[in-house]
Amino acid sequence: LMIVPTSEEINYKKLPSNVVLPSQKEMIDYIYSKIKFNTVNVYDTINKNNDKYQMYYYLDHHWTTYAAYYAYLEYAKNNDIQPLDITDFDVELVTKDFNGTLYSKTNDYSRNSDSIYVFNRKNNLKVEYVYEDKVTDTMYEYSYLDKKDKYSLFLDNNHPLIIITNNDIITNKEIIVIKDSYANSLIPFLVNHFKKVHVIDPRYYNLSITSYLKENPNIKDGLIIYNANGLDDSSILGLE
């Protein structure tokens, strides 16, 4: 389980002094204390590196690709995986003109637009959007850069089920990722270590996840990833 703090938690000092919010850290620590399987603490590394790189978009509620990279390092450390160094990726600036969900709520035209980076690495991929009957060789849908919702370039927005196969990797390991949209910019890091990454978004996947696991016995690893605010509605998990 990986629960990701949001910007309002990490950047709370930038909020007006009269704003009082419940502590996401306390909530995350409490949930982790009750969990009987492995948990991944990304709070500390995001907080620690918040001044080194921009961890959250200013005008959108998502974390940036740099935050996702540091979360990937923590996942790797907790699962005996040798992570790739940041220098192993071709870090590409794909837009300087991202005005996301927070911009839409405030319409504050005085704010500078956000930049989006992608971490490219050459892999022979097969990306299957199962229920859309769509197959491609990339995890990025660059057409979104010409639209308002530019974060959706990661994994072509949200889908019920995506299966990503890395044809270059020498392993038979498979993982299931049960997630919200925060995971979309994390999954491009995971594909470097698994033959197949099965991505399920319970907000759109209406079948039994338990049955899916039984039908795919090669899946031995699993990651549940949600941002802290997303856990407010427990029904989205859809787990039996």
CB atoms within 10 A of CB 154: 25
User: Hey, what are 76's tokens?
Assistant: 């790797």
pLDDT tens profile 148-200: 999 999 999 999 999 999 999 999 999 999 999 999 999 999 999 999 999 99
Per-residue DSSP letter, 183: G
pTM attached to this predicted model: 0.94
Q: Which string of b and e fits 24-57 if b means at least 16 CB within 10 Å?
A: bbebbeeeeeeeeeebbbbbebbeebbeeebbbb
pLDDT tens profile 23-36: 999 999 999 999 99
Whole-number pLDDT of residue 230: 82
Give the torsion through C-alpha atoms of 45, 49, 53, 58, to 10 deg.
80
- Cβ atoms of residues 120 and 92 within 8 Å: yes
Q: Which of 144, 199, 209, 149 is nearest to 176 (CA)?
A: 199
User: Hey, what are 92's tokens?
Assistant: 């590409």
CB atoms within 10 A of CB 125: 18
Whole-number pLDDT of residue 240: 38
- Cβ atoms of residues 149 and 116 within 8 Å: no
Cα 222 from Cα 211, distance rounded (Å): 15
Tens place of pLDDT per residue across the chain (240 aa): 999 999 999 999 999 989 999 999 999 999 999 999 999 999 999 999 999 999 999 999 999 999 999 999 999 999 999 999 999 999 999 999 999 999 998 877 788 999 999 999 999 999 999 999 999 999 999 999 999 999 999 999 999 999 999 999 999 999 999 999 999 999 999 999 999 999 999 999 999 999 999 999 999 999 999 999 987 655 555 443
